[in-house]
Amino acid sequence: MVEVQVLGEFCFSRLLGKPIYDKSNQKIGKIKDMAVRWENSYPQIIGIKYKSRTHQLIAIDQIEACSYREIRLKENFAVEKTIVLHETDIYISKWLLDKQIIDLKGSKLVRVNDIILSWVMQGNIEYMTLVAVDIGIKGLLRRLGLEFLVSGRKNNLLDLQYVNPLENWNSYLQLNREKQQISQLHPADIADLLEEMDYKTRAGFIATLNDQQAVDTLVEMDLDAQVEIIEQMDQQRASDLLEEMPPDEAADILVEMTVEKSEELLNLMEVDDAEGVRELMQYEEGTAGALMTTEFIAFSAELTAQEVINRLRELAPEAETIYYLYVVDNIGRLQGILSLRELIIADPNKLLRDLMHTKLQTVQLDDDHESIAQVINKYGLLAVPVIDEQGIILGIVTVDDVLDLLLPEQGKIDIHSWFTLRKWGGRK
């Protein structure tokens, strides 16, 4: 393995404007910018822009010495020896300096205040590469000539091996170790990032997410942001995401749009999905009908615990929550309920009718969110079934949807966190 020797480290802002001299001591110009090529983890500088209104560059291999005082070339300058900026190369100041990037460690947007460059030798080859971005106050004050005010403070650097420019060289960077790292963020953290971005940046970023990531992120956002993002999307993708969202979330979004816009999106959705969402859109805001999701899991009382577990493997991906299983008769009347835990630890041969709780806590379609919250809180439930006058289960209202209304300033409530605090509150 060839040893890499660091010959020097520089702050990009302190190199800007420094004079460039050739071997005959002729002043060629000043450092206006530097161009980089993103072929490796650490993007390499290919050339120096030495005057305005030209994309001719002094190739980096022409540099003999570099300091904060001046740049020295190995040979006498000749325009014929310059190189041209390639379409895949980018200028540091234009695309990096003062732009926002995503700090995956902190799950937040941060500003690039300066850039750290390293002059290295690998074997007999010398080159300059970008190694980090400075996102701290020290980097900003350095550019203002006031670094002495924070001389004792450490630089706040992010390693550039984790930075990749977004497609089409957008005006901010996506800090990641490929797209896999974005998927490792909690959807709520991605939602926070999106809400900090302007609408153009937001649209570009969400386009990099796959459908499942986009859906998981959208449901963590407040309603206004959800509506704004869906309205800005290509209609086909917007309808695809609405199909994948819980029906109650999709209905809430579409209700906030114009009738014409919502109908356009509904018409692009699968017929069954669209019909379910249209039905939820008819209920008055804040009622059980408007809050409920129709994605719940129900079984016949005559099935065994093992039969239900086998069917759950197929049905679970389609349900919003499977903490509770609902037991119904042949016309959908609610007969009982049991938790997933109770099912798993039960004798595989036991029928659901022998396992279910028959003293049920339910709500009606027109019940308001406050009365629903009282039931959920009193009995420590994660979800409460919504039934009609005949006792037929129409949907369920989950605790997070109720708390979002009661505590809007707290943002989206994580039902999984609630589950860790409350335990099953059913009764036989």
| CATH code of the domain containing 81 | 2.30.30.240
CB neighbour list of residue 358: distance below 8 Å, 6 or more residues apart:
335, 336, 428
Q: Are residues 8 and 137 in the same domain?
A: yes
Q: What is the pLDDT of residue 70?
A: 95
Q: What is the pLDDT of residue 178?
A: 46
Angle (CA) 301-303-308 rounded to 5° is: 110
Q: Which of 144, 163, 185 is the last residue of a domain?
A: 185
Nearest-angstrom CA–CA distance, 330 and 384: 21
Tokens 């990641």 locate to: 176
Q: Which of 260, 282, 304 is the last residue of a domain?
A: 282
Q: Are residues 158 and 263 in the same domain?
A: no
62 phi and psi angles, rounded to 5 deg: -90, -10
Q: Are residues 136 and 258 in the same domain?
A: no
Nearest-angstrom CA–CA distance, 320 and 415: 11
Q: What is the pLDDT of residue 320?
A: 60
Q: Are residues 276 and 296 in the same domain?
A: no
Q: What is the pLDDT of residue 169?
A: 47
Nearest to 353 by CA among 386, 327, 325: 327
At residue 198, the 3 state secondary structure works out as coil
17 phi and psi angles, rounded to 5 deg: 85, -5
> Which tokens hold the place of 198?
């302007």
CB neighbour list of residue 186: distance below 8 Å, 6 or more residues apart:
107
Q: What is the pLDDT of residue 421?
A: 40
Count of domains observed in the chain? 3
Residue 426 inside a domain? The answer is: no
Residue 99 inside a domain? The answer is: yes
Nearest-angstrom CA–CA distance, 363 and 359: 13
- Mean pLDDT of successive 10-residue segments in the chain (428 residues)? 78 94 94 84 86 87 92 92 84 82 68 89 84 87 83 82 52 49 74 76 78 88 89 92 91 92 94 91 90 90 94 71 88 94 94 94 93 90 93 91 65 47 40
Q: Which of 223, 247, 282 is the last residue of a domain?
A: 282
Residue 167 inside a domain? The answer is: yes
Residue 207 inside a domain? The answer is: yes
What sections of 185-270 are H helices per DSSP? 187-196, 199-206, 211-218, 223-232, 235-244, 247-255, 259-268
Domain CATH number, residue 350: 3.10.580.10
Q: Are residues 397 and 356 in the same domain?
A: yes
Q: Are residues 294 and 401 in the same domain?
A: yes
| Cβ atoms of 348 and 358 closer than 8 Å | no
Q: Are residues 58 and 200 in the same domain?
A: no
Nearest to 334 by CA among 381, 393, 390, 384: 393
| Cβ atoms of 130 and 36 closer than 8 Å | yes
Q: Are residues 152 and 300 in the same domain?
A: no
Q: What is the pLDDT of residue 73?
A: 95
Q: What is the pLDDT of residue 161?
A: 66
Q: What is the pLDDT of residue 390?
A: 94
pTM over 0.85: no
Residue 428 inside a domain? The answer is: no
Owning domain of residue 361: 290-421
Q: Are residues 219 and 269 in the same domain?
A: yes
Residue 53 inside a domain? The answer is: yes
Sign of the alpha-carbon torsion through 228, 234, 237, 242: positive
Residue 427 inside a domain? The answer is: no
Q: Are residues 317 and 378 in the same domain?
A: yes
Nearest-angstrom CA–CA distance, 403 and 413: 7
* β-bridge mates for residue 49, sequence order: 33, 57
CB neighbour list of residue 362: distance below 8 Å, 6 or more residues apart:
334, 384, 385, 386, 387
Domain CATH number, residue 209: 1.25.60.10
Residue 243 inside a domain? The answer is: yes
Q: Are residues 269 and 295 in the same domain?
A: no
Q: What is the pLDDT of residue 183?
A: 64
At residue 355, the 3 state secondary structure works out as helix
Q: Are residues 103 and 214 in the same domain?
A: no
List of E strands, 219-345: 298-300, 324-328, 334-339
Q: What is the pLDDT of residue 162?
A: 64
Q: What is the pLDDT of residue 210?
A: 86
